[in-house]
Structure 1
């Protein structure tokens, strides 16, 4: 890091989900993995990281030394239970107040930089940035305007409250970190972001944990038949992730399979608008007549998840929207090809025709045809898997950390305090450190 400005202490804000939560449960997913993996690696580079997240249990300690150089602060804001993510905007005042109090108890200049994750955290980071006089780096992870443009059937559009909140954070942040160049273009085109403040930082995978291994050993550990042909879905069970699309696409292939070996494995728990969906998927499997060929597993710890990938012949990511798609990279790192929707960052994560295949749209017939074509050629699948492991080596968390530190350097060098950012797409103009809606 010679010649770069390295923050001594980073305030990392993740309001709605803790990096200590199990991915695949509640609102925990790729964002949790991203926060934890980058925080621990930043700490190894000499940056002290303090993560602020909302307390969701009375058992949460106010401060937890989660790893060397990484502290997780559980911030009280609202009731522990029964608070949906859509209710959290009403608790941002309480959350922000407690974050500011934590800093006020320290010597002046305690934090050098703020990095907020998701728009709720960006709202808190914006306030803290102005109070502390340090730069704000923001990662959206998902964008309401993008999600609303490709809603799943039965899903609910993101509210205007979020769209406006995102616009405010885009206007205010000193640097905007995106997962792919496509996401950067979306920020510019849909939110009027200044391209000179956008940094592309590609997420990674834990390549020490996710690596090729024995398929037979993995199936034995998970209690799966060694002779099955296994297609796997991993993720939160919600309309956005489209597990129902995969289930419907698999059904005719299962009925046509005379060997009785074709099976779908669904790994994950309910989330957000997907509350109750595991039961809905079970009912759908019964309706389609494939109950006996579908296995449901709860969210898996990282080491067990690696075994899930290794046990699979093909991993599918049929999401309607993905800013990147960590599941796709993790599966490929284990040497497993991926069938994914041709959306968002999945176009970067998967090398179409080389390490897997991308499907345009979510038509069931198209997904069935793509599955049938891949599963009919085991030799091609194996070759894709070998190339997938090599492809995934480009996506390491060390590379991600390098790029984040470069973004932090630009934020520290270019920071000039509170100042106007012009007018965004929704007429939000900053005046003397405040934001107002112009008409």
Structure 2
């Protein structure tokens, strides 16, 4: 049989689909079939790297059975990067080869992917088989594809194949049709699957991870779990597919982590053989997980996320274990239990060898050849009308009744704590939408032209002065924090540059992300600079509490100035005062919590006892960050510099009033009130930089208390926030570059910075 295998993905940026096609072509050729592969091929050039976000292609030979279809561009898709071709020359080459090849069947892989797959569906003059590799529940891209005619084009397929039930779900959900599930194959090493490994007492548990350093693959979750695991048992983590440079931004501690980078298949197989376990903590979007079967072929059991694509491969408790996705604590405890029970790991390794036999390429190729034969014998339409309907895609080419796309229940279980997160996200989204709607209505009511006039009439010189004052205030905050760090950690010898880097990066993250991610960001930056990050982080977080206390003092001073302004928030002073002093309650809780938590009291719940012990330890370490207030010298510097920073911000707010010509209506008291209002409303930000709420706070002060026109007040709020954001970018951008980090990397680090603590475990008989 003469077979054409069509791939939309670059041959020199090999992923799961490319490896599938290459192995299938090899097996079909071994079985006596004549195979041609049509796929894009990127040469190793500088321009190629630029088109793929800096990633260089692998240097691969051009096999005689491969027809190159030009270069590709890297597009973000489904949490990863898809290297797709769509050049006119590539499409022209595809059409020419399909017309002249004399193929008995054309097998299109990922037929929904533009533009190679789409064109092959209408260019081939032979029976068509399509394999669907992708699993995705994202509605938008599939709806767009359907609007562009994907369902009609897919009707040209004589047989539809999916690599898993998850991939078939995607096809049924968004495109309709019938699907037969034929999984990805795996290459069994010469000599068969290796014998199970026996880990001797005292040897570290060797865990392998295969994949890119991206959030979707769950690597940040695994790294948090591994840090907790290493504190209890000897362990090593071997990362295949990511370099040390790519891992560095995600690591808090690098001890025990070995990055092999991008390696060939032989090196990957050797690494999997040497591992006791493969860990695949993906967060979703996996249709099959070829790496799982590759681990089975190496005689290695797996610990994987309980997600749709992986449940089709891993038999829980037999050849591996499934854990809730995104749950670093559960993952760490599972790995810890396996480290303490080597006999269980050995038993699962025996079962993994048996599971690998189900996915051998001879078996998979045999099923695909059967699909090719079925595609060839599909009956031709009998009437001219039916032939026309099939030709234009109105009727399916399989000769059966059309099955339309339909809504299906999700395959993904809700992650641990998912309902609470869903409610929180819903509340934040609702608040953000309310803010946006309110801002839009305010602009409509005031008039865009009036707001524009107020902005245009502002003095650029005074705006620049305000910007300079804001930048200077950031430096004073860094001086204050440096004094606090020195008092809390004299042995670490923190430098001024450490505090400056942390403050400026934290301000940038707070200005561009909601949920105050700037605080953990700057704490992590400094903790990494001062030694073992996990040991330093609680104390560094405690120093943030010290700064918060000084900030509360500054708010009290601003409030006193504000309340002396006649008519300001008439009748509402008491409510605002309580709102502004609310952080005192949190501070008092931090100070007295260790004394209130009595670890010696009995508890009926081990989980409650664990929480109590963890809470006592954490709050005690956080309290050490307040040492500055027991040291007069450092304390005086910290308080005076922090209050001076607030004073500069106060003056900056007043300078902007001058810039808009409002100094005759609003004085320094108004500037104090504005600074107080925007900081109080920023306690729980619902949008980046609290956009919308920020302007509403400025308007409440200027319009309600000082009689400034709404257009000028809103213009003032826009300019003040622009100055704050510009300060964050001017100060934080160079700091990120100096730290060798990107904005995305700092965001990932802040999101996955919470340390993991494991529950106590009684040793089993197998452990002894």
Q: TM-score range by the shorter chain?
A: 0.7 to 0.9
* 1:214 to 1:366, Cα distance in 2 relative to 1, 3 A: closer
Unaligned runs of 5+ in 1: 1-7, 150-156, 217-225, 271-277, 427-439
Q: Which residue of 2 aligns with 1:44?
A: 30
Residue equivalent to 1:262: 235
Given the superposition, is the C-alpha separation of residues 77 and 254 from structure 1 closer, same or farther in structure 2, using an over 3 Å criterion?
A: closer
Question: For 2:264, which of 301, 314, 319 is the aligned residue?
Answer: 301
Residue in 1 that maps onto 2:445: none
Q: Count matched residues.
A: 367
Counterpart Cα distance in 2 of 1:58 and 1:244: 30
Name the CA distance, whole Å, in 1 between partners of 2:23 and 2:230. 38
Residue in structure 1 matched with residue 305 of structure 2 by the alignment = 341
* 1:101 alignment partner, one of 96, 104, 113: 96
Partner of 1:367: 331
**2:332 aligned with 1:376:** no
Paired with 1:394 and 1:247, the residues of 2 have a C-alpha distance of: 32
- Could you list the per-position Cα deviations for residues 3-31 of structure 1 after superposition, in whole angstroms to 9, with x for gaps in the alignment? xxxxx32221112221xx4xxxx4x2221
> How do 1:45-64 and structure 2 match up within 5 A?
45-57=31-43
**What is the SS of the residue equivalent to 1:207?**
coil
Identify, as 1 or 2, the structure richer in helix. Answer: 2
In 2, Cα distance between equivalents of 1:341 and 1:163 = 31
1:232 equivalent to 2:216? Answer no
Higher strand share: 1
Alpha-carbon distance change, 241 to 111 in structure 1, aligned in 2, over 3 angstroms: same
Q: Are 2:86 and 1:91 equivalent residues in the alignment?
A: yes
Q: Deviations over 1:110-129 (max 9, x none)?
A: 12221111246575345344
CA RMSD of superposed structures (Å): 3.2
State the shift of 1:38 in Å. Answer: 0.8
Of 181, 193, 197, the match for 2:176: 193
Instruction: Give 1:408 shift.
Output: 0.8
Partner residue in 2 for 1:246: 222
1:92 is displaced (CA, Å) by 5.1
- Note closer, same or farther for the CA distance 1:96–1:423 as it changes in structure 2 (3 Å cut): farther
Deviation, structure 1 residue 298? 1.4
Secondary structure, aligned partner of 1:349: coil
Q: Does the CA-based 8 Å contact 1:125-1:136 persist in structure 2?
A: no
Hey, what does 2:163 align to over in structure 1?
A: 179
**Whole-Å separation in 2 of the counterparts to 1:267 and 1:280:** 12
8 A Cα contact 1:350 1:358, kept in partner: yes
Q: What's the offset of the Cα at 1:102?
A: 3.0
Secondary structure of the 2:308 match is: coil
1:163 deviation in Å? 6.5
Partner of 2:353: 389
1:53-101 superposed Cα distances (whole Å, 9 cap, x missing partner): 11211799xxx873xxx700112256xxxx2135977725442212112
Secondary structure of the residue aligned to 1:252 is: helix
Deviation, 1:180, is 2.3
| Runs (5+) with no aligned partner, structure 2 | 46-56, 77-81, 381-389, 396-401, 407-768
Secondary structure in 2 matching 1:292: coil
- Do the aligned residues in 2 keep the contact of 1:14 with 1:121 (CA within 8 Å)? no
How far is 1:51 from its partner? 0.8
Name the structure 2 match of 1:275.
none
Q: State which drifts further: 114-123 or 29-38.
A: 114-123
1:282 is paired with a residue whose SS is helix
Asked if 2 retains the 8 angstrom alpha-carbon contact of 1:237 and 1:243, the reply is yes
Instruction: Describe the superposition over 1:119-152 as per-residue Cα deviations: whole angstroms up to 9, x where unpaired.
Output: 4657534534434421221112114x43x38xxx
2:4/2:37 contact within 8 Å kept: yes
CA distance in 2 between counterparts of 1:187 and 1:237 reads 28
Cα deviations by residue, 1:170-191 (Å, 9 ceiling, x for unpaired): 4442221111234324422x12
Aligned residue for 1:204?
Answer: 185
- Contact kept, 8 Å, 1:16 with 1:120, in 2: the verdict is no
CA shift for structure 1 position 200 = 1.3
Residue pair 1:317, 1:341 contacting (<8 A) in 2 also? yes
CA displacement at 1:240 relative to structure 2: 2.2
Matches within 5 A, 1:393-412: 393-412=357-376
State how far apart, in whole Å, the 2-side matches of 1:92 and 1:163 are: 22
Distance 1:88 1:415 in 2: 36
Check conservation: 2:38, 2:68, Cα contact below 8 A. yes
Q: Assess if the C-alpha contact under 8 Å between 1:116 and 1:139 holds in 2.
A: yes
SS at match of 2:263: coil
Aligned mates of 1:191, 1:292 — CA distance in 2: 45
Q: Is the 8 A contact 1:336 1:388 kept in 2?
A: yes
For 1:283, the equivalent position in structure 2 comes to: 249
- Deviation sequence 1:298-356 (CA, Å, 0-9, x none): 12222222211111111111122321111111112222110011223321221110111
- For the Cα contact (< 8 Å) 1:13–1:121, is it kept in 2? no
Name the CA distance, whole Å, in 2 between partners of 1:164 and 1:114.
25
Q: What is the rounded CA distance, in whole Å, between the counterparts of 2:298 and 2:228 in structure 1?
A: 28
SS in 1 for 2:216: helix
**Higher RCO (CA < 8 A, seq sep 6+):** 1
CA distance in structure 2 between the partners assigned to 1:250 and 1:164 by the alignment: 45
Question: In the superposition, relative to structure 1, how do residues 76 and 30 fare at CA in structure 2: closer, same or farther (>3 Å)?
Answer: closer
Q: How far apart in 2 are the matches of 1:328 and 1:58?
A: 30
Does residue 318 of the first structure (1) align with residue 281 of the second (2)? yes
CA distance in 2, matches of 1:121, 1:52: 14
> d(CA) in 2 for partners of 1:415 and 1:65?
38
Distance 1:382 1:56, change over 3 A: same
Alignment partners' CA distance in 1, 2:312 and 2:335: 20
Question: Contact 1:267–1:300 (CA<8 Å) still a contact in 2?
Answer: yes
Cα distance in structure 2, aligned partners of 1:43 and 1:181: 28
Distance change in 2, residues 1:388/1:39 (3 Å):
same
The separation in 1 between residues aligned to 2:270 and 2:297, in whole angstroms, is 12
* Change in CA separation of 1:119 and 1:173 when aligned onto 2, cut-off 3 Å: same
The more displaced of 340-349 and 117-126 is 117-126
Asked whether the 8 Å contact 2:237–2:258 carries over to 1, the reply is yes
CA–CA separation in structure 2 for the residues paired with 1:281 and 1:415: 54
CA distance in structure 2 between the partners assigned to 1:372 and 1:214 by the alignment: 20
**95-104 or 352-361: bigger deviation:** 95-104
1:252 to 1:37, Cα distance in 2 relative to 1, 3 A: same
> Aligned partners of 2:85 and 2:147: how far apart in 1?
15
